[in-house]
Amino acid sequence: MHAFWLVLFSLTAGFTASGIVANLYRVCGFTTNTAGGRAFRAVILVLAGPNVLFESAMRGRLSDSWNPISFWLVTTVVLYWSFALGLLALEIAINI
């Protein structure tokens, strides 16, 4: 049971970190007109990807433009990505 709670905590930590990075990126209003800006956006999207992808999937599912299989496939990818980010965040927090 301890492992289950650790996985659940890692998932939520990763998705929360992803949401924080995505919202900070949106609020700051960075531009991608230069090569450096595009590289920075790519790095940010690696961290903010689960939140951005799940938001897009939810919007598509609510408008009925996505079928349920596609939605659940993307949700599975988002969960795995969030789990990996959560493990990274926990590892950093433990080593600080």
pTM score, whole prediction: 0.84
DSSP code at position 4: H
pLDDT, tens only, 25-78: 888 877 778 888 888 888 888 999 999 999 999 999 999 899 999 999 999 999
Tokens coding 35:
């090569």
pLDDT, tens only, 75-92: 999 999 999 999 999 999
88 Cβ neighbours under 8 A, 6+ residues apart: 14
Number of domains, the chain: 1
Q: Containing domain of residue 52, as a range?
A: 2-95
Q: What angle do CA 81, 83, 89 make, to 5 degrees?
A: 105
